[in-house]
Amino acid sequence: MSPQEIDRITQHPDFIQLVRRKQRLYWSLTLIMLAAYYGFVLLVAFHPGLLGQSLSGGATTLGMPVGVAMIFLAFALTGFYVHRANHRLDPLNDKLKREYRS
C-alpha cells in the first residue's frame, strides 16, 4: 500500500469516526475498571474492618461479595465491549474495507 493510499484512508470521515469511537470506548471502559479496582484497593487499605464484617454472623464477610462483584464487573465490561464492537465498530470497519479493496 502506497503512502498516498494510506493518507487517503486516514483522511476518510468513516475512518476518523471509527478511530474516535474505538478510543472513546477503550478509555471509558478502562476508566470504569480502574475506578472500581482502585476504589476496592483503597477501601481495603483505609477501611479493612468494613470488608471484614460478617454478613450474617457466619464466616462470609462483606469483602467476599464485593470481590465477586469486581470479577463480574470485569466480565460485564468485556461483554459490553464485545457487543459494541460487533454492532458499532465492525460494520464501520467492514464498510471501509469494502470501499478500499475495490
Q: Find the mean pLDDT for residues 82-91.
A: 96
Model confidence, pTM: 0.83
> Does residue 65 sit in helix, strand or coil?
helix
Are 86 and 76 within 8 A, CB to CB? no
Residue located via cell numbers 465492525: 90
User: Residue 60 pLDDT more than 80?
Assistant: yes
Rounded CA Rg of the chain: 22
> Does residue 14 sit in helix, strand or coil?
helix
pLDDT digits (tens, 9 = 90+) for 33-56: 999 999 999 999 999 899 999 988
User: Residue 57 pLDDT more than 90?
Assistant: no
Q: Find the mean pLDDT for residues 6-10.
A: 89
